């Protein structure tokens, strides 16, 4: 095109300047030639601005809040000053909720001009529209909503609408909003035509009655390059007539409309050469309406397929970024088409790349150039994967980091926090375990503005960087907390925790519910399907996920076996060392041979290996424990199965001390010893009563630290057996860490271990998940664990997670992992799989819950089906939808052969349906007959049968040659398969009725001409004296022919038997199956031919009279089968000469129809895995009035949405049945403990009559709800449902605690460990808060007050002692 001519507005050159010190603006004409941008002259009074001065000015005037501090002059006295509440940031006017926009009209719809020479005048009307409809605010709200009250800013409330989840597509709503905001004319090429051809400009701004006329838009002297058959033929002026332009290329309207609607869906930018792309088929949601559109006619389908093919071609060529001329040069058909079929549907996002594996060395090489101004500086050199992740965080993209334990994934989380601080937004860090949240809060406190939100702690919720549990974030999303608007990053740590059966569903819910403006950072250990999981997240959120992984460990690991005092290295640098394993195996064999040959009195330093003791713990006593700890420590540990004797501790000491001494000698401490039992940890630590591993300075440091930590406890709590016992162990450098410890005790152990003063730590696997405390060495007490259901071997992922704690970065050059071998050496295959095998894949644990259903039903725009579709479990099925759509289109275009009946109106469809129904009856009846006791008497070798052919359209006469056996569980039958075949639907089938109902299944066989018979001696030979051995020496099926008749010996299923004949012949079983005698086959075939010499099969046994069928259902089906055969014989198609051909056509049509129905079903919502359960749960909610018939959430449903601690149905029903009204606050909170207590094998509590009655009421409610769910086909067993959701083991303990009993005394009432008691009471406080909120919704003020009293009663002393991570020491 030619150069653009300047507009009238730019023909007068001018410059802008300030005058005087007041800063008044002046427009001065200038003789200089016009510039696109006017000159701007700074006033002399102002110094030149710099980035630093601008930053200081903005911070001082707009970013620093002003604090209003009351004084004595203003108020009488000031006792407390809440600095956050008193902060008064400068208020800004609220954003307008509506705006005026011009309603654009195409030129041909504008009012005509007064003069024929003047073009039509564009005088648009202004329309008032909602801001949210014109501009997307980024929060993705489904409807415009004002911010809620300040008290609900963080937690939200049940009445608030959740934000629209990112990636949730609603084609109809988007199209309606787009059409309302931008009329049709604004989305096609008319505006381009006006811009290039000239015309009237908009004069009056929206909402103004008058404006300024700047003249007409000037026409640009430009030409179109016109092409025909890919070659330029001429240049056509833009202003030429439409008739001339119609014959060239494409129409502007369609060209720009296609570009607008596609929205670059098919355009994929060329990524870096090192990136590996994982393809996704898109997220097209195929519903019933769309499937119906696909069937609008073959002509429309063909056109739609052609259009779709052309769009795909355009998308493929777009990688070369072809310009407009090249696009126009291609020969394209007229794209004006009818709005039917797929014409208005968005093209499938096939080939969209969601998970992009990062692998570009250029990012690492040029990192400081690409990220010159980092949000936070690190004093060390970043690893490759850290640089890649930070680079994409700076670009505002989501990342998935998969690396080994202690590799430095936290750096990525820190940088996301730094970016949020820099951008004045918020970031959220979620962790699966409360311990991780507390520890991260301590780690980040000194670097960022951090807050902490857990079930029982809320510290600085207004902070920029928030650390919370995943359940808290899910609640905020469902309750529509306004703080979601400000969040820029959500960091998911320990993503592999999604495999957790109980809580993994929470992670999937949160990922699905996150709004589109939030970016995601995922931190995970190495898993095999990282890209698959990232691909699911990208598809769900409709955004690309950058995947960066590393298999490099900062500190390499070596894996060893410890057996009989020696260490054998079996793996190094992920390479299994067979030689080391063989040496350990040889030592094991040598020691066993010596032990078996030794005398009974021989002593040894290690436990003797005896048969039957493999896998048992060598520790056989817990002597000395009774004097220190109460009775509750002895249960749930298997202590009763362990013999107690005086030598137990000394033997365990002798077992552990050789290892500890070996590690001390090689400077391989501190060491973490993983034991997969709380009691095993305690016994192992106590067994080392003689070991002292600390120096005097270490002892002093431990004593001072413990005194400071436990000083916050009151006197009686400081003297708890567990507190005193752990201090005794810690002073000797020995620690214990498991879920049974008090929270403050666990934190003391963790902090002292991080300081390096604990040399040996006995721990369960929770230490590897919840604490970032690497050690020099890791020891596995055993390679088997109890997972709550069974004892099993460790999985590779579990082993890698725990073994990764070995090796301290910057301190150790190598980390050592030791596996203890007591009575046996692991098998080589098991050991190799454990050390170098693939870790556990990320699997979906998604399941429907009533809370999820009710939360989604509260909002009309959110559907439960959308949540199910976007779960990780449905990922592959949803990903394959575009391919299934293509297949459906192809199948719908396939022409179906019509059946041309020679007798007029075809009735073959009716006939074929009767045939299928009769076959179904026949198979059922045959299966029933074959199981009758009387039938087995007839089914002996030599019995004649009528058997179906392999093509299922004929049947043959045969004879049983061999009965089923252990080797072959089928009948071996010889059948005649010559040219003389008989159709199951012979023309004279009606004549069978003359023989009675028992013979209705027999047909007629036309005997072919017999061939030349052999000599008499060929048929008869001397009788065989050898009895058949049952061996089959022929290969089935065995075919042949004799006497002009073909035959086949084959195995026959029960359902292939048409009928059992009354006739029986003598056969030579040995000659037929073992010796393969031609004479025997010829004789058998001749006898079969003789049995049907009249062209009919022998009569069949009557199922009722002969076989004694008595079952009413079986007799009914048998008679129905005979009736259908009669109706078929009366149908006019029965005697048609084209019956067989038409039956085959009908069969093909039915198969085609069944495939279409199956494909449509797979593309519908009904195919979702959990859809049947969803329907059942909906019926349950309707029956108990949580929702009405229109799926509108009722009062009980709103209350159930508040229940997150316990089972939502049981707790809600208890509230509405007023089961807590007659209980005191202490009794109510005691009964409520059954909702949150998790240990199932606790001792039976001693309850008061009032508590026992309340317990029975709650249990009966659970049984009733379980029966209701079972009745609606929800997979629930009532007894198991009540047992799993109600555990009354701590009712007595909580009751006494609420009454004020000291903690030491309540521990004597149960065998549950102290740590679990504390955890239950802490969760119970959250349950009280939920019940209190429910009471306010219900309007029950008495219950509200009761829950407040109960919460205050349990919130005291050691149970609610503040975390050391939060308060510090």
pLDDT of the residue at 620: 36
Amino acid 257: pLDDT = 47
Would residue 238 be called left, alpha or beta, if left means φ above 0 and alpha means ψ between -120 and 50 degrees?
alpha
Which residues are within 8 A (CB) of 297 and not within 5 positions of it... i.e. 6 or more apart?
Answer: 341
* Strand partners for 522: 400, 492
Residue 287 confidence (pLDDT) above 90: no
Q: How many other CB atoms are there within 10 angstroms of residue 180's CB atom?
A: 14
| Strongest mean pLDDT among 198-207, 339-348, 938-947 | 938-947
Calculate ∠ Cα 727-733-739, nearest 5°: 60
**What number of CA atoms fall less than 13 Å from residue 343's CA on the CB side?**
14
Percent of the chain with pLDDT over 70: 69
Q: Are 995 and 1002 in contact, with CB atoms under 8 Å apart?
A: yes
**pLDDT at residue 572 is higher than 80:** yes
> Residue 473 and residue 290: Cα distance in Å, rounded?
36
- Which candidate, 1360, 1293, 1292, places its Cα nearest to that of 1325? 1360
Give the single-character DSSP code of 401: E
Higher pLDDT, 443 or 245: 443
Q: Read off the DSSP letter of residue 1166.
A: G
Predicted confidence band at 1020 (pLDDT cuts at 50, 70, 90)?
very low
The helix (H) or strand (E) run that includes residue 746 is helix 743-755
Choose from 277-286, 618-627, 781-790, 1134-1143 the range with maximum mean pLDDT. 781-790
Q: In this structure, are residues 1109 and 932 in contact, taking their beta carbons and an 8 Å threshold?
A: yes
pLDDT at 648: 40
Report in angstroms the alpha-carbon separations of 865 from 285, 879, 996, 1149. Answer: 11, 16, 56, 33
Top pLDDT among 897 and 1193 is at: 1193
What pTM was estimated for this model as a whole? 0.67
| Average pLDDT across the chain, whole number | 75
* 1042 vs 1282 pLDDT, higher one: 1282
Does residue 705 surpass a pLDDT of 50?
A: yes
CA distance 747 to 467: 18
Q: Which of 766 and 295 is assigned the larger pLDDT?
A: 766
HSE value, Cβ hemisphere, 13 Å, CA-based, for 90: 8
**Residue 653: what pLDDT?**
46
- Position 193 scores a pLDDT of 59
Span 287-309, average pLDDT: 42
Closest by CA to 493, choosing from 458, 536, 444, is 444
The pLDDT of 450-458, averaged and rounded, is: 86
What CA–CA distance (Å, rounded) separates 1196 from 1265?
A: 15
Reported as a single tens digit per residue, the pLDDT across 716-728 is 889 999 999 999 9
More confident residue, 35 or 1340: 1340
- Work out the pLDDT band at 188, boundaries 50, 70, 90: low
Taking alpha carbons only, the member of 935, 1326, 1264 closest to residue 1107 is 935
Indicate the pLDDT class of residue 1217, thresholds 50, 70 and 90. Answer: very high
DSSP per-residue letters across 548-598: EE----SS-EEEEEEETTEEEEEEETTEE-HHHHHHHHHHHHHHHHHHHHS
Write down the pLDDT at residue 2: 43
Q: Of 1369 and 1367, which is predicted with more confidence?
A: 1367
Lowest mean pLDDT among 439-443, 758-762, 1247-1251, 1286-1290: 439-443
Distance CA 499, CA 505 (A): 9
Q: Which residues of 570-602 are buried (b: 16+ CB within 10 A; e: fewer)?
A: bbbeeebbeebbebbbebbeebeeeeeeeeeee
DSSP, collapsed to helix, strand or coil, labels residue 468 as strand
Mean pLDDT, range 85-100, rounded to an integer: 55
pLDDT of amino acid 767: 85
Judged by average pLDDT, the poorest of 59-63, 566-570, 578-582 is: 59-63
Is pLDDT of 209 > 70? Answer: yes
C-alpha 288, offset from chain centre: 25
In this structure, of 521-525, 699-703, 778-782, 953-957, the range with the lowest mean pLDDT score is: 953-957
Is residue 245's pLDDT more than 50? no
What is the pLDDT confidence band of residue 526, given thresholds at 50, 70 and 90? confident
Mean pLDDT of 967-985: 68
Low-confidence winner among 18-32, 834-848, 1344-1358 (lowest mean pLDDT): 18-32
pLDDT at 1306: 93
| Residue 1125 or residue 1275, greater confidence | 1275
When pLDDT is averaged across residues 1081-1089 and rounded to a whole number, the result is: 88
pLDDT of 185 over the 60 cut: no
Residue 615: pLDDT over 60: no
Listed range (698-707, 1066-1075, 1334-1343) with the worst mean pLDDT:
1066-1075
| Token digits of residue 365 | 């090489």
DSSP string covering 493-535, please?
Answer: -SGGGGG-TTTHHHHHHHHHHSBTT-EEEEEE---TTHHHHHH
**pLDDT-derived band of residue 534, with 50, 70 and 90 as boundaries?**
very high
Residue 355 has pLDDT above 80, yes or no: yes
Cα–Cα dist 971/935, whole Å: 14
- The 10s digit of each residue's pLDDT in 1089-1120 is 888 776 678 888 888 888 888 888 888 888 88
Residue 483's pLDDT is 92
> What's the length of the chain?
1369
- The span from the CA of 1052 to the CA of 1030, in Å, is 17
pLDDT of residue 110: 55
pLDDT digits (tens, 9 = 90+) for 792-806: 889 888 898 899 889
Starting at the edge strand that comes first in sequence, how are the strands of the sheet with 557-563 ordered? Answer: 575-576, 566-572, 557-563, 815-820, 777-780, 671-674, 760-763, 734-737
| Over residues 179-195, mean pLDDT | 55
Residue that wins the pLDDT comparison between 1092 and 616: 1092
DSSP H helical segments within 246-348, as ranges? 252-262, 288-293, 298-317, 324-329
With tokens 């009846």, the residue in question is 925
Q: Tell me the mean pLDDT in the region 578-607.
A: 67
Using the predicted structure, report yes or no on whether residue 1185 has a pLDDT greater than 90: yes
């Amino acid at each position: 095109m030619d150069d653009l001519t300047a507009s009238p507005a730019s023909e007068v050159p001018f410059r802008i300047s300030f005058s005087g010190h007041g800063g008044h603006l002046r427009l001065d004409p200038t003789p200089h030639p016009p510039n696109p941008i006017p000159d701007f002259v700074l006033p002399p009074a102002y110094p030149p601005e710099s980035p630093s001065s601008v930053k200081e000015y903005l911070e001082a005037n707009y970013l620093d809040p002003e604090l209003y501090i009351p004084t004595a002059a203003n108020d009488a006295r000031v006792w407390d000053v809440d600095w956050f509440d008193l902060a008064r940031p400068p208020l800004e006017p609220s954003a307008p909720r509506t705006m005026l926009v011009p309603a654009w009209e195409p030129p041909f719809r504008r009012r005509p001009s007064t003069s024929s020479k003047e073009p039509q005048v564009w005088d648009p009307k202004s329309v008032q529209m909602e801001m949210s409809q014109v501009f997307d605010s980024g929060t993705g709200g489904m409807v415009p909503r004002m911010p809620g009250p300040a008290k609900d800013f963080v937690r939200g409330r049940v009445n608030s609408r959740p934000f629209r989840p990112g990636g949730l597509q609603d084609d109809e709503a988007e199209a309606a909003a787009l059409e309302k905001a931008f009329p049709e004319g604004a989305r096609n090429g008319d505006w381009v035509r006006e811009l290039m051809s000239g015309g009237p400009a908009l004069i009056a701004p929206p909402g103004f009655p008058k404006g300024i006329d700047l003249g007409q838009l000037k026409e640009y002297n430009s030409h179109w390059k016109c092409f025909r058959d890919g070659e330029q033929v001429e240049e056509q002026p833009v202003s030429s007539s439409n008739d001339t332009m119609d014959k060239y290329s494409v129409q502007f309207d369609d060209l720009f409309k296609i570009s607008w609607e596609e929205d670059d869906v098919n355009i994929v930018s060329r990524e870096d050469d090192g990136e590996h792309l994982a393809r996704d088929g898109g997220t097209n949601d195929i519903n019933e309406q769309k499937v119906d559109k696909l069937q609008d006619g073959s002509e429309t389908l063909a056109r739609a397929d052609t259009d779709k093919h052309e769009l795909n071609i355009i998308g493929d060529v777009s990688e070369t970024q072809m310009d407009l001329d090249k696009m126009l040069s291609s020969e394209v058909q007229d794209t004006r088409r009818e709005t039917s079929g797929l014409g208005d549907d968005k093209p499938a996002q096939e080939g969209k790349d969601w998970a992009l594996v990062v692998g570009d060395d250029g990012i690492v090489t040029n990192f400081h150039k690409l990220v010159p101004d980092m949000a936070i500086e690190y004093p060390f050199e970043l690893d490759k994967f850290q640089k890649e992740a930070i680079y994409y965080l700076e670009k505002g993209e989501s990342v998935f980091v998969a690396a080994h334990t202690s590799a430095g994934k936290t750096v990525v989380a820190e940088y996301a926090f730094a970016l949020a601080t820099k951008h004045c937004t918020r970031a959220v860090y979620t962790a699966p375990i409360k311990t991780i949240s507390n520890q991260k809060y301590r780690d980040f406190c000194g670097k960022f503005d951090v807050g902490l939100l857990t079930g029982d702690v809320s510290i600085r919720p207004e902070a920029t960087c928030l650390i919370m549990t995943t359940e808290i974030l899910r609640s905020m999303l469902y309750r529509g907390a306004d703080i979601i608007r400000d969040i820029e990053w959500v960091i998911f740590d320990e993503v592999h925790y999604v495999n957790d059966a109980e809580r993994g569903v929470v992670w999937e819910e949160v990922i699905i519910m996150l709004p589109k403006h939030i970016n995601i950072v995922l931190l995970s250990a190495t898993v095999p399907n990282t890209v698959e999981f990232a691909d699911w997240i990208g598809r769900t959120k409709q955004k690309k996920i950058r995947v960066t992984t590393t298999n490099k460990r900062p500190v390499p690991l070596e894996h060893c076996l410890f057996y009989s005092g020696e260490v054998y290295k079996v793996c190094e640098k992920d390479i299994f060392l067979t030689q080391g394993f063989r040496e350990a195996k040889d030592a094991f064999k040598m020691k066993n041979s010596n032990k078996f040959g030794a005398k009974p009195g021989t002593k040894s330093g290690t436990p003797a290996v005896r048969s039957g003791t493999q896998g048992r713990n060598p520790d056989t006593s817990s002597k000395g424990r009774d004097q220190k700890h109460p009775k509750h420590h002895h249960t749930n540990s298997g202590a009763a199965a362990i013999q107690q004797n005086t030598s137990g501790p000394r033997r365990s000491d002798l077992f552990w001390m050789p290892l500890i001494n070996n590690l001390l000698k090689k400077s391989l401490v501190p060491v973490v010893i993983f034991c997969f039992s709380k009691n095993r940890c305690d016994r192992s630590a106590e067994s080392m009563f003689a070991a002292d591993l600390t120096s005097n300075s270490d002892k002093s440091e431990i004593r001072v630290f413990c005194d400071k930590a436990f000083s916050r406890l009151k006197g009686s709590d400081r003297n708890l057996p567990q507190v005193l016992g752990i201090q005794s162990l810690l002073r000797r450098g020995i620690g214990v860490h498991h879920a049974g410890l008090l929270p403050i005790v666990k934190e003391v152990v963790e902090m002292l271990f991080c300081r390096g003063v604990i040399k040996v730590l006995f721990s369960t696997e929770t230490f590897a998940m919840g604490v970032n405390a690497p050690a020099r060495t890791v020891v596995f007490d055993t390679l088997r664990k109890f997972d709550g259901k069974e004892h099993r071997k460790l999985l590779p992922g579990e082993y890698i997670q725990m073994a990764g704690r070995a090796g301290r970065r910057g301190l150790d050059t190598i980390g050592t992992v030791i596996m203890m071998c007591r009575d046996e050496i692991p098998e080589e295959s098991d050991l190799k799989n454990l050390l170098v095998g693939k870790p556990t894949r990320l699997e979906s644990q998604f399941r429907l819950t009533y809370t999820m259903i009710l939360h989604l039903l509260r909002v009309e725009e959110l559907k439960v089906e959308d949540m199910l579709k976007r779960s990780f479990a449905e990922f592959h099925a949803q990903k394959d939808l575009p391919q299934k759509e293509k297949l459906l289109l192809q199948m719908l275009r396939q022409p179906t052969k019509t059946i041309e009946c020679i007798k007029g109106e075809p009735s073959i469809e009716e006939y074929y349906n009767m045939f299928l129904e009769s076959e179904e009856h026949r198979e059922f009846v045959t299966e029933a007959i074959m199981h009758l006791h009387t039938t087995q008497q007839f089914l002996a070798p030599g019995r004649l049968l009528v058997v179906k052919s392999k093509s299922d359209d004929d049947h043959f006469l045969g004879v049983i040659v061999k009965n089923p056996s252990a080797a072959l569980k089928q009948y071996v039958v010889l059948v005649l398969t010559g040219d003389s075949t008989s159709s199951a639907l012979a023309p004279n089938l009606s004549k069978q009725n003359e023989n009675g109902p028992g013979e209705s299944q027999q047909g007629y066989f036309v005997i072919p001409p017999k061939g030349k018979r052999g000599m008499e001696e060929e048929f008869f030979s001397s009788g065989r004296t050898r009895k058949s051995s049952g061996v089959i020496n022929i290969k089935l099926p065995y075919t042949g022919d004799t006497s002009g008749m073909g035959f086949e010996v084959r195995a026959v299923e029960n359902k292939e038997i048409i009928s059992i004949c009354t006739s029986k012949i003598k056969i030579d079983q040995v000659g037929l199956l073992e010796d393969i005698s031609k004479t025997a086959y010829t004789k058998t075939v001749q006898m079969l031919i003789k049995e049907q010499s009249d062209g009919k099969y022998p009569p069949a046994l009557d199922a009722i009279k002969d076989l004694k069928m008595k079952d009413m259902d079986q007799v009914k089906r048998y008679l129905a089968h005979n009736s259908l055969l009669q109706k078929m014989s009366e149908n006019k198609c029965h005697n048609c000469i084209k019956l067989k051909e038409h039956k085959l056509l009908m069969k093909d049509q039915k198969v085609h129809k069944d495939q279409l129905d199956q494909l449509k079903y797979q593309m519908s919502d009904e195919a979702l895995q959990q859809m049947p359960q969803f329907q059942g749960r909906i019926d349950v909610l309707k029956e108990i009035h949580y929702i009405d018939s229109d799926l509108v959430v009722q009062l009980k449903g709103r209350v159930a949405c508040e229940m997150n601690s316990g089972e939502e149905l049981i707790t809600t029903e208890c509230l509405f049945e007023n089961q807590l009204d007659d209980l005191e606050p202490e009794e109510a909170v005691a009964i409520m403990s059954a909702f949150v207590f998790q240990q199932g094998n606790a001792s039976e509590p001693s309850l008061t009559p009032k508590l026992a009655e309340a317990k029975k009421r709650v249990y009966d409610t659970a049984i009733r709800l379980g029966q209701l769910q079972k009745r609606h086909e929800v997979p629930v067993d009532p007894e198991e449902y009540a047992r799993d959701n109600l555990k009354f083991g701590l009712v007595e303990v909580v009751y006494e605690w609420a009454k004020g009993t000291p903690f030491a005394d309540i521990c004597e009432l149960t065998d549950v460990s102290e740590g679990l008691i504390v955890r239950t009471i802490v969760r119970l406080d959250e349950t009280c808060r939920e019940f209190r909120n429910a009471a306010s919704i219900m309007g029950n003020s008495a219950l509200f007050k009761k829950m407040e009293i109960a919460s205050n009663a349990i919130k005291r002393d050691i149970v609610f002692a503040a975390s050391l991570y939060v308060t510090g020491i």
